Structure 1
Amino acid sequence: MTEHVDAREVEARLSDLLQRVERGEEVVVTRAGKPVARLTAVGLERERPSGSVPFEVPQTFFDDLPDEELRAWE
């Protein structure tokens, strides 16, 4: 589970938070309740959900839409 910690609290708890990050946890730093940064361990790969595969956007994704499709969006 990702913990959300206010930026001011990070200053007081940095050592503890870094230990948790080293164990593989993730910490989101917030300011006024809004996420502004993420603490993660360097060099640790995040696990993908079971059964997931890498996704690549096909080059055709960037092709112009046919006129009929463009009209449908107008």
Structure 2
Amino acid sequence: MSVEKVSSTEAKNQLNRLLADVKAGSSFIITSHGEPVAQLIPIVTVPRRFGQLPRLLVPSGFDDPLPDDELAAWEAEKT
């Protein structure tokens, strides 16, 4: 995918469209008087790490609620 150049005026007037395109993976070079001054690129998320174990990655669903059947099994152990 090529990087499109847009003027600062275009970027100001079309920011919502540009952001939607960036969310979809596009990148843009913003120019001022024809000279590149900034780049608009998607953010790459950094995976969460677990404590002192730098190679252990925390899955994205780590904080999600437990499924009902697993929660029931944990609750059964309390009684």
Q: 1-side partners of 2:28 and 2:20: how far apart?
A: 11
TM-score using structure 2 length? 0.53
Runs of 4+ more than 4 Å apart: none
The residue number in structure 2 matching 1:31 is 32
Structure with higher strand content:
2
- Counterparts in 2 of 1:37-56, with a 5 A limit? 37-43=38-44
Letter in 2 for 1:29: I
Q: Number of aligned residue pairs: give it.
A: 44
Provide the secondary structure at the position in 2 that maps to 1:36.
strand
Distance in 2, matches of 1:22 and 1:35, equals 21
Identity among equivalent positions (%) equals: 32
| Structure 2: 5+ residue stretches without partners | 46-79
Q: CA RMSD in A?
A: 1.1
Instruction: Please give the TM-score of this superposition, normalised by the length of structure 1.
Output: 0.56
Aligned position for 2:9: 8
